[in-house]
Structure 1
Amino acid sequence: MRNPGGEASNINKTFADRGKAMSLFGVTRMPGPNRSIELDFIRGLAIIAVMGFHFHSYPTGSAFIAAIEYPLKNFGHEGVNLFFTLSGFLVGGLLLRQYAQEGRIDAGRFIVRRIFKIWPAYYALILFHVIVGRHPTDTFLVQNLTHMQNYFGSSVAQTWSLAVEEHFYLFLPLLLILFSRWQTRVNTILTVLGAICVAVLIGRSVAVYNGDLEGTFFYTQYRIDSLLFGVMLAAIYWLKPGVYRGIAQRKGLLIAAVAGLVLWLVFGTRNASVDQSIGYTVQAIGYCALIVLTVEYSGRIRGSILYRVIGWIGVYSYGIYLWHSLALAPGDMLIRKAAAWHLPAIPAWGAIMLAQFAIAIVVGYVTTRAIEFPFLRIRDALFPAKRKAEVPEAAGRQA
């Protein structure tokens, strides 16, 4: 079967080139199997933003501490948006690689591998909450078991975004199966994905105009474009490598796009109606630029301690995301103790924030090692990844 888009020879040559240590993509490996430090660095940034947003802070009255806290306390939702776009890029890359190589999509195999990746740690969290009774079961159990918590609510609040991703894992393979049956050209794939994103933007803007800010924040039909922008980046990378190379070489444009993203995060997100309409689109475009800029141009700082620490945190980001709320109760206890003992405000603030980050990271590390990684080894033994193009699977293993 021919490759879609009539570009078989160019695509096959690109696969061969990329098999040589990802020369175009500039990705290096973290210690351990199948890791990419650049992508883990992006994950690390996202999970740090999420943790900082949720963790409880000790009041200091210090303008300096307020400046340090600003990105931590204001960009948690945006960290989730970054996760969405990165997930679309990685997961879309896994499917598009197969589509480009074979002209078809093995949706069943993809979904089974996703189940081994996502469900064990996720259902361990749900089982934990059932056993310890931190929340009444009628506030989360059915919703979470059916992956509909973003529509019906859940007291295990952080899981709403996982429902969006689960719906995406079903939607994207079905869409690509249609593309493969029609032997769709690459430009048509990008046009269709772009049209869906425009439709989502219009629908979300109408919902915001009608006052449905809760729906535009939680519902899949209003959030899936953040993932699809990542898929479009993956389509350009895998199926139009010349276009990707042209984008990657425009370093100044990428920096300008990321700078625009930062300005939007600082100023645009202050208005919820604007941010939850056009803002999600602005962020998705900016995050695509951030992904390309990081993987292509972060070589000079890749060896720094801070970069590698953030990358290491990114390795365990899924486990941390699932379990980080367990750090809130100890944080509240420390806040009460610090107030009762009249401790100096700034050192108390630092110790309390550090304790919450440490608890969340340690719990995420332990649960990842105890649950997620063993199931990934079982998955790879039962349903091994196809190795024609090794690196995308390596980069996407922790997607």
Structure 2
Amino acid sequence: MKLFGGAGPAKAGRAIELDFVRGIAIIMVMGFHFHAVHTGNYLIQIIEYPLKSFGREGVNLFFTLSGFLVGGLLLRQYAETGHVDARRFIIRRIFRIWPAYYVLIAFHVLAGRHPWNSFLVQNLTHLQNYLGTSITQTWSLAVEEHFYLVLPALLLIFSRWRLGAWTIVGILTGICAVVLTARCFAVAGGNLDGAFAYTQYRIDSLLVGVILSAIYWMKPGVYHQLAKRKWLLIFSVLLLCAWLAFATKNLVLDESIGYTIQALGFAALIVLVLEYSGSLRTSWIYRGVAWIGLYSYGIYLWHSLALAPGDMLIRKATALGLAPSLIWVVALAAQFAIAIAIGYVTTRAIEYPFLLMRNALFPEKRSSSVREEVPAAAAGGQLS
């Protein structure tokens, strides 16, 4: 796997393959949230179908990717030294996540777009996935914040007990099974909102990524054997696509076993993209999607600001009597452009300076003893 280097604290040593996966995820999320018009155009309906039908599953892809990447930060350290520096990990996460996040909260306080009681306490305490928030896209960030506390705590226990790779994989698999069982009971009891948003029902999607990361860093030979099975990976991704296309409409089914099926399929997708991107890496489409993925955290935080301009454009274009198909193209393109531009600017203006400060004050400890070819693959996650 080749690494994607470049200037800037978030680019150095990054893997373009993983930015490509991020790009797919954030495009799915934006396509699901952005407003459009009904056109009756069959070709546009085909283009729109995957975004509007299962675009929200981009968050599930983010979860599994974050588990793989953020888990790799700790598991690489565990594989190299038998210990984890949980304090440094949490501090580095704070520098990565909180500055941009709290600027978003401050913006909404100053802008007055939402009543304070609809988001402020909820978001400041990172309990918005339980208490609700009018800044709706931030619910998944709460799940990730909780994951950033749970994972190092688990690995501290594992290091104290000096557990091996397969024992760790077994324990994490057991936790995933418990989470799946609890989620099924929640769905059976009619708590679909909780099954969708509560950390105890969603953390298995992240842990599947951690399991893949454990195999990657601690059992590289097993990982390579898995990666060699290209057709198995392709088959798994095709099954994932079939599930997204046909099963996600059934919320009871999807929110029970569906999230587990998606996590496993997304794990296969991550391996497939990492190992078999080949010459696609040099194509402008691949690199364009990866470039969007590079700014995915900023885009995710701020993309809702593109909705109001999109609505305004739709109203004005409709009043002018433009064809619905043209309005659809222009409105969607404008919303994507606005969201990506805001994500780019905020990443450069907020995230990068704090990453530089973090790297100066709390540089990442690295060793050359384990998996030298991919240290940067674990340099960041979605939201990581």
TM-score interval for Structure 1 and Structure 2 normalised by the shorter chain: over 0.9
Alpha-carbon distance between aligned partners in 2 of 1:326 and 1:87, rounded to the nearest angstrom: 24
Fraction of identical pairs, as percent? 64
* Correspondent of 1:108 among 83, 87, 109: 87
* Correspondent of 2:279 among 300, 303, 308: 300
Cα deviation code 1:4-38 (max 9, x no counterpart): xxxxxxxxxxxxxxxxxxxxxx1321433222110
Q: Which residue of the partner structure matches residue 398 of structure 1?
A: 380
Matched, 1:60 2:39: yes
Cα deviation code 1:168-215 (max 9, x no counterpart): 000000000000000112111011000000000000001101110000
Cα deviation code 1:154-175 (max 9, x no counterpart): 0000000000000000000000
Matched, 1:27 2:2: yes
Q: Shift of residue 395 of structure 1?
A: 2.4
* Correspondent of 2:253 among 268, 274, 293: 274
Q: Which residue of the partner structure matches residue 21 of structure 1?
A: none
* Correspondent of 1:336 among 301, 315, 322: 315
Q: Which residue of the partner structure matches residue 138 of structure 2?
A: 159
Q: Shift of residue 98 of structure 1?
A: 0.7
The amino acid of 1:27's aligned partner reads: K
Q: Residues 75 and 213 of structure 2 are in contact (CA less than 8 Å); yes or no, is this contact kept in structure 1?
A: yes
SS in 2 for 1:147: coil
The amino acid of 1:123's aligned partner reads: Y
Please list, as runs of the form range in 1=range in 2, the aligned pairs for 1:1-399 lying within 5 A after superposition: 26-32=1-7, 33-389=12-368, 393-399=375-381
Q: Residues 3 and 376 of structure 2 are in contact (CA less than 8 Å); yes or no, is this contact kept in structure 1?
A: no
The amino acid of 2:379's aligned partner reads: R
Cα deviation code 1:139-164 (max 9, x no counterpart): 00000000000000000000000000
Q: Shift of residue 105 of structure 1?
A: 1.1
The amino acid of 2:258's aligned partner reads: G
Q: Shift of residue 391 of structure 1?
A: 6.0
Q: Shift of residue 72 of structure 1?
A: 1.5
SS in 1 for 2:134: coil
Alpha-carbon distance between aligned partners in 1 of 2:250 and 2:30, rounded to the nearest angstrom: 22
The amino acid of 1:55's aligned partner reads: F
SS in 1 for 2:247: helix
Q: Residues 385 and 393 of structure 1 are in contact (CA less than 8 Å); yes or no, is this contact kept in structure 2?
A: no
Alpha-carbon distance between aligned partners in 2 of 1:351 and 1:269, rounded to the nearest angstrom: 29
- Root-mean-square deviation (CA, aligned residues, Å) is 1.0
Q: Residues 164 and 220 of structure 1 are in contact (CA less than 8 Å); yes or no, is this contact kept in structure 2?
A: yes
Q: Residues 196 and 225 of structure 1 are in contact (CA less than 8 Å); yes or no, is this contact kept in structure 2?
A: yes
Q: Residues 180 and 260 of structure 2 are in contact (CA less than 8 Å); yes or no, is this contact kept in structure 1?
A: yes
Report which stretch shifted further, 370-379 or 66-75. Answer: 66-75
The amino acid of 1:261's aligned partner reads: L
Q: Residues 58 and 345 of structure 1 are in contact (CA less than 8 Å); yes or no, is this contact kept in structure 2?
A: yes
Task: Tell me which stretches of 4 or more aligned residues in structure 1 moved more than 3 Å.
Answer: 389-393
The amino acid of 2:318's aligned partner reads: A
Cα deviation code 1:45-64 (max 9, x no counterpart): 00000000000002211111
The amino acid of 1:190's aligned partner reads: V
For the structure 1 residues 392 and 141, does the alpha-carbon distance in structure 2 shift closer, same or farther, using more than 3 Å as the test? farther
SS in 1 for 2:32: helix
Q: Shift of residue 297 of structure 1?
A: 0.3
Alpha-carbon distance between aligned partners in 2 of 1:161 and 1:279, rounded to the nearest angstrom: 17
Q: What TM-score do the two structures reach when normalised by structure 2?
A: 0.96
Alpha-carbon distance between aligned partners in 1 of 2:338 and 2:53, rounded to the nearest angstrom: 21
The amino acid of 1:160's aligned partner reads: W
Matched residue count: 374
Q: Residues 3 and 13 of structure 2 are in contact (CA less than 8 Å); yes or no, is this contact kept in structure 1?
A: no
Cα deviation code 1:219-250 (max 9, x no counterpart): 00000000000000000011111110110000
The amino acid of 1:394's aligned partner reads: A
The amino acid of 1:395's aligned partner reads: A
Q: Shift of residue 393 of structure 1?
A: 4.9
Alpha-carbon distance between aligned partners in 2 of 1:397 and 1:183, rounded to the nearest angstrom: 25
